[in-house]
């Protein structure tokens, strides 16, 4: 039988952090995890929309254990504040779903001067993972799931000399690069987990062709050329619902048999039930090392499992 939300094991006692939890795939992921008993930290930039999403989930499940945290992935300061708030409330993080993202935005910059897409899709999640990593590595059975896209197959590894594509920006090329970076990040983190004997697992997932708000926002923001309206019309006609599209990241997050380093996506490429997918063009070696070097340089933060395992210094 195809995998569904009915296969999610009991999540009571587990803390899940979901970025972009106020709509689309993030909201569907939040609802499924809350229905399974998890405490879900809904991390999102638009807090009015987040409160509406929280009310929607609780209307269907009054027992849903939901928390709101303001998170703007385009601001390293906001990411740090969100992580501090999460860690103040919780001494463990069982699940981090790096879900939020932008697609084919016009050229722009984040608060910290990063390209908007690369900054939100990758560097913001890099920073959040960095801040939460000590809690993750100390939590038995923890997982980090990073959401990529089939666009990764058109992406190129990050150019260390121009990671923000300032010389020759193209919205779809940057989107593809950021989504390949998401997958390389998932792979590289799993390598560190394994090398340091950590029980945590890092996985990637992609939703295929899903009719979330992603494509609609691309068209609203402009800069995507004729492909924006084309993909919006396509997902509206034949795309999966957010509930179905979210199954891949939910399976990566909760299936006891899902191995670290794996990627899950729809059976038929862009549609169908969630299955384990082959990793084409594995990012081992130079691509992952370069991504780590660039991400450290740009954010001033590291994702270093060995360092995260070191005991915290005693207060003076």
Q: Tens of pLDDT along 299-310?
A: 999 999 999 999
Q: Does pLDDT of 111 surpass 80? A: yes
Average pLDDT, the chain: 92
Residue 295: count of CB within 10 angstroms of its CB:
25
Domain containing residue 111: CATH number? 3.40.50.720
* Pairwise CA distance, residues 214 & 227, whole Å: 13
Residue 123 maps to a domain: yes
b/e burial code for range 27-45 (CB count within 10 A of at least 16 → b): bbbbbbbbbbbbbbbbbbb
Domain count, the chain: 1
Share of the chain above pLDDT 70, in %: 89
pLDDT tens digits along 22-60: 999 999 999 999 999 999 999 999 999 999 999 999 999
Q: Does pLDDT of 230 surpass 80? A: no
Widest CA span of the chain, in angstroms?
Answer: 61
Average pLDDT for 77-84:
98
Residue 80 maps to a domain: yes
Q: Does pLDDT of 67 surpass 60? A: yes
Q: Does pLDDT of 262 surpass 80? A: yes
pLDDT of residue 240: 83
Say if CB 298 and CB 130 are below 8 A apart.
no
Q: Pick from 127, 68, 100, 103: which is nearest to 249 by CA?
A: 100
Q: Does pLDDT of 220 surpass 70? A: no
Q: What phi, psi does 276 have (nearest 5°)? A: -70, 135
Q: Pick from 74, 20, 75, 57: which is nearest to 42 by CA?
A: 20
Domain coverage including residue 26:
12-209+242-306
Q: Does pLDDT of 159 surpass 60? A: yes
Q: Does pLDDT of 281 surpass 80? A: no
pLDDT of residue 223: 60
Residue 312 maps to a domain: no
With vertex at residue 85, the alpha carbon angle to CA 79 and CA 89, rounded to the nearest 5 degrees, is 145
Quickly state the pLDDT bin for 225 (edges 50, 70, 90).
Answer: low
The lowest-confidence range among 64-68, 90-94, 104-108 is: 104-108
Q: How far is CA 239 from CA 59, 204, 244, 285, in A?
A: 26, 20, 10, 35
Q: Pick from 68, 75, 62: which is nearest to 22 by CA?
A: 68
Residue 197 maps to a domain: yes
pLDDT tens digits along 283-294: 667 999 999 999
175 is catalytic: yes
Q: Does pLDDT of 216 surpass 70? A: no
Q: Pick from 73, 155, 87, 63: which is nearest to 117 by CA?
A: 73
pLDDT tens digits along 118-148: 999 999 999 999 999 999 999 999 999 999 9
* Pairwise CA distance, residues 293 & 117, whole Å: 19
Share of the chain above pLDDT 90, in %: 80
Active-site option among 114, 118, 175, 231: 175
Residue 232 maps to a domain: no
Residue 40 maps to a domain: yes
Say if CB 114 and CB 68 are below 8 A apart.
no
Q: How far is CA 272 from CA 234, 265, 267, in A?
A: 16, 9, 5
Average pLDDT for 215-240:
64
* Pairwise CA distance, residues 201 & 306, whole Å: 15
* Pairwise CA distance, residues 148 & 248, whole Å: 11
Residue 134 maps to a domain: yes
Calculate the CA 95 to chain-centre distance.
11
The label of the residue with tokens 């103040």 reads: 88
Residue 223 maps to a domain: no
């Amino acid at each position: 039988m195809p995998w569904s939300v009915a296969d999610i094991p009991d999540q009571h006692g587990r803390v899940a952090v979901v970025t972009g939890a106020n709509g689309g795939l993030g909201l569907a992921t939040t609802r499924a995890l809350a229905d399974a008993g998890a405490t879900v930290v809904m991390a999102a930039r638009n807090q009015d929309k987040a409160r509406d999403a929280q009310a929607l989930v609780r209307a269907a499940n009054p027992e849903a254990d939901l928390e709101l945290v303001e998170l703007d992935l385009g601001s390293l300061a906001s990411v740090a504040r969100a992580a501090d708030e999460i860690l103040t409330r919780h001494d463990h993080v069982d699940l981090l779903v790096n879900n939020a993202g932008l697609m084919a935005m016009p050229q722009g910059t984040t608060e910290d001067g990063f390209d908007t897409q690369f900054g939100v899709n990758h560097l913001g999640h890099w920073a959040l993972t960095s801040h939460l990593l000590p809690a993750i590595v100390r939590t038995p059975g923890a997982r980090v799931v990073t959401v990529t896209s089939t666009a990764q197959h058109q992406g190129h590894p990050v150019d260390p000399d121009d990671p923000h594509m300032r010389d020759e920006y193209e919205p779809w090329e940057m989107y593809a690069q950021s989504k390949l970076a998401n997958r390389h990040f998932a792979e590289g983190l799993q390598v560190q987990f394994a090398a340091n004997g950590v029980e945590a697992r890092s996985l990637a997932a992609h939703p295929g062709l899903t009719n979330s708000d992603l494509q609609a926002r691309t068209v609203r923001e402009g800069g995507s050329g004729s492909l924006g309206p084309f993909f919006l019309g396509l997902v509206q006609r034949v795309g999966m619902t957010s509930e179905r599209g979210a199954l891949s990241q939910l399976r990566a997050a909760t299936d006891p048999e899902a191995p670290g380093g794996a990627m899950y996506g729809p059976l038929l490429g862009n549609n169908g039930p969630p299955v384990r997918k082959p990793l084409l063009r594995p990012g081992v070696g130079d691509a992952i090392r370069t991504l780590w070097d660039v991400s450290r340089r740009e954010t001033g933060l590291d994702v270093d499992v060995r360092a995260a395992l070191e005991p915290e210094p005693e207060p003076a």
